[in-house]
Structure 1
Amino acid sequence: MEQVIPGSDVAMSGRQEMFSLEAWQQAGKWFSYEGHAMFSRMGGQGVPLVLLHGFPTASWDWSRLWPMLEREHHLLTLDMLGFGFSDKPLHYPYSIEDQADLIQGWIEGLGLKQVHLLGHDYGTTVVQELLAREQEGSLSFGIDSVCLLNGGLFPEVHHPLFIQKVLRSPFGGLIGRGLSRPVFERNFRRLFGPRNPPGRQEMEDFWHLLNYNNGRGVLHRLIQFMEERRCHRNRWVGALQNASQPMRLISGSADPVSGVAMARRYRELIPDPDVVCLRNVGHYPHFEQPWDVFSAYRAFRKARNC
């Protein structure tokens, strides 16, 4: 099943409702993971929906979608270790498996028995690891449904930007620490589609989150997840292929990193694929066109009765 949505200007209403970065932080809650302070957000009521953000941003990515989802769901999100307002230890062995340990422990610590998962970019890979664990019987909670936004689900069709490639190189530490705001903005803007690119204040907020707690100093360590995707490709792709719960991919087609080719590969490899393509939308569909993402997600949950 595939749907193509051209995009609508209703997304602007989500922009008006979005939380400022300061308000987002002030409404957060904190907990400890391996001795590190972790930032989280919760809201709404109903069946739990866990939102997992991408690289190199943070949970604030969901701020435009949050007011729409909050009316019908018990929302939970957090800044993963090394991201956003959470701690960013310099010499930590960052990995997708460790982030999955973090998410699993957090959900189990909250006593949740069933959750829905919505992941973007880096967060989609964490979702894949959690799915693999569920299939192996190592989770104490069930996953009722999975929705994925643009991410490197299949490393063979992932096309990283040049700046991402050099961050993975032996000089990545120097590149990350020396990353200037103009270079960051120029590369970051390339990820967005033409309809709703981030404005000046939003770019200021993304830059602030990146720099918080010396974030540029760990970029070269975090980005090694791209190599993890290659090494664990069979496990993580297999988790999608063997999933028993309803799944949908919502894909921004203007994404130069994981857009059209990723959606095409999803249709090739996933049984009975459910794909919604958003035209003229880039790598951050939930930030660019939140109303379209919300509509596609709501329709998915209703159609699958989950």
Structure 2
Amino acid sequence: MPALTGIPLAEWRARGQDFVFGGQRIRYWQAGEGEPLLLIHGFPTASWDWHRIWEPLAARYRVIACDMLGFGDSAKPRGHDYRLLEQADLQQALLAHLGVSGPVHVLAHDYGDSVAQELLARHHEGRFELASCVFLNGGLFPETHHAVRVQKLLLGPLGPLIGRLFSRRKLAANFARIFGPDTQPSEAELDDFYDLIKTGNGPAVMHRLIRYIPERRVQRDRWVVAMQRGGVPLRVIDGALDPISGAHMVARYRELIPEPDCVLLERIGHYPQTEAPEQVLEHYLHFREALESTACADERC
């Protein structure tokens, strides 16, 4: 497979569109035709995280993504009570805005994994139709999530100050720890990641966004039960060296989830779609092709 060079940030931004959710402007992207595939990004970055695999996926599916509330080029209201459940509402509102009906496939990462878990729970509650879900590195289980130091500080009493002091230098230091040793981001990539964070004074709301960590604990049992119920094909594609949610998280997934479908990417860290996009694309497409083969066999194609 040829190297996936991706989409420059300026071009990515030019392709975006806006809609209004809860009185706030949300930036979103869509491309391609076919079955809808919803991409859900992580903390503290944005949907540009998917830029390396966006076009290959759009060649096969109707891909849809937004910068969630408080992230990237979407609104970042000060004083807002950011919730994962509201971000799931946002994803459903975006799909409704685009006229998407019927089952939706989801590919999620990090914070987005928690939003996807909520959508999976809603599927079992009859409030959403989920066709499949693939999780990249994320805190699927609070007991295996190893928060980095800046996350712990953001959760503490000095959180507002820590957020305001967050800088490009601190982003680079944190990413150096969580990316794989051979797949570190370039200086240009760090510039772009930080630009998306700082737009709209994003550091000022980081201490509010980080409340997703205790919210995960509240929803833990409901979300784990949803993953255990079956009926929706699931896969984990995980960078093994990620200190936050790497191989140790996958080991817990294998303990708790029946017939676990897991792919470990050796020497890859927390951002596999950036660090190893070719591998992520290959394993995602294999997952989808297996689903299609099973559906075809069931229908006696």
Q: TM-score, normalised by structure 1?
A: 0.93
Matched, 1:124 2:113: yes
Deviation of 1:304 after TM superposition, in Å, equals 2.2
Contact preservation (8 Å) 2:47, 2:66? yes
Task: Choose from 190, 196, 208 the match for 1:209.
Answer: 196
How far apart in 1 are the matches of 2:15 and 2:29?
7
Contact preservation (8 Å) 2:176, 2:184? yes
Which residue does the alignment assign to 1:4? none
Contact preservation (8 Å) 1:117, 1:147? yes
Which residue does the alignment assign to 2:179? 192
Which residue does the alignment assign to 1:35? 23
Which residue does the alignment assign to 1:170? 157
1:19-40 Cα distance to aligned partner (Å, 9 max, x none): 1111000001110011111000
Contact preservation (8 Å) 1:131, 1:243? no
Contact preservation (8 Å) 1:252, 1:285? yes
Deviation of 1:119 after TM superposition, in Å, equals 0.5
Question: RMSD in angstroms over aligned alpha carbons?
Answer: 1.1
Matched, 1:250 2:223: no
Q: Which amino acid aligns with 2:219?
A: H
Query: What SS class does the counterpart of residue 50 from structure 1 fall into?
Result: strand
Which residue does the alignment assign to 1:219? 206
Q: TM-score, normalised by structure 2?
A: 0.95
Matched, 1:97 2:85: yes
Which residue does the alignment assign to 2:299? none
Query: What SS class does the counterpart of residue 287 from structure 1 fall into?
Result: helix
Question: For 1:1-306, what aligned pairs fall within 5 Å after superposition?
Answer: 13-14=3-4, 16=5, 18-112=6-100, 113-139=102-128, 142-305=129-292
How far apart in 2 are the matches of 1:49 and 1:257?
26
How far apart in 1 are the matches of 2:130 and 2:247?
27
How far apart in 1 are the matches of 2:184 and 2:11?
22
Q: Which has the higher contact order (CA 8 A, sep 6+)?
A: 1
Q: Which amino acid aligns with 2:288?
A: R
How far apart in 1 are the matches of 2:165 and 2:181?
29
Q: Which amino acid aligns with 2:109?
A: H
Give the gaps of 5 or more residues in structure 2. 296-301
Q: Which has the higher helix share?
A: 2
Query: What SS class does the counterpart of residue 304 from structure 1 fall into?
Result: helix
How far apart in 2 are the matches of 1:275 and 1:172?
35
Deviation of 1:170 after TM superposition, in Å, equals 1.1
Query: What SS class does the counterpart of residue 190 from structure 1 fall into?
Result: helix
Q: Percent identity?
A: 47
Q: Which moved more, 1:56-65 or 1:174-183?
A: 174-183
How far apart in 2 are the matches of 1:47 and 1:146?
13
Alignment length (residue pairs) = 292
Query: What SS class does the counterpart of residue 64 from structure 1 fall into?
Result: helix
* Stretches (4+) displaced over 4 A: none
Deviation of 1:110 after TM superposition, in Å, equals 2.2
Give the gaps of 5 or more residues in structure 1. 1-9
Contact preservation (8 Å) 1:43, 1:74? yes
